[in-house]
Structure 1
Amino acid sequence: MNMLIAEYDYDVDIAVQREEEREIALKEGEVKGSYQKALETARLMKQSHCKLDFIMQITGLPLSEIEKL
């Protein structure tokens, strides 16, 4: 009931939305960064002639991604 009576504040609403968008963008950036790091690690391991199953185990990448490197 209190929520229905509370006064709506546009500026607060916009600030909250922007903060949520920043948090989402940060999480997406972390995921992309982790993926790029895994690719780089796999590339270096492949150049060092590590076995593909070992590279998959360490990086968490699928075989198809490792073979592309």
Structure 2
Amino acid sequence: MIPSFSRSRPVFGPNCEGIMPAVAAVVVVEVVVIVVVVERVVVVVVVVVVVVVVVVVVVAVVIAVIVV
């Protein structure tokens, strides 16, 4: 006997209530992961730029002190 799925919510079809919340959840998780990764990348880039600027300023001051 073939089980009848007519009473349960269809996964595929016009009333795809079973799959849409799952797809929405996956999309939300992916967006959150992308935002977190982008924020970390931005923080790393800012830290690297600040470190490079500090090193350049320190080297410039040392050279100026040595030259003067």
Relative to the length of structure 2, the TM-score reads 0.59
State the percentage of identical aligned residues: 9
Query: Tell me, what secondary structure is at the counterpart of 2:41?
Result: helix
Q: Does 1:37 align with 2:53?
A: yes
Show the counterpart of 1:60: none
Show the counterpart of 1:46: 62
Rg larger in structure: 2
Alignment gaps of 5+ in structure 1: 1-6, 51-69
If asked which structure has higher relative contact order (CA below 8 Å, sep 6+), I would say 1
Relative to the length of structure 1, the TM-score reads 0.58
* Matched residue count: 44
Partner Cα distance (1:22, 1:48) in 2: 38
Root mean square deviation, CA, Å: 1.5
* Post-superposition CA distance 1:26-64 (Å, at most 9, x none): 0011111100000100111011117xxxxxxxxxxxxxx
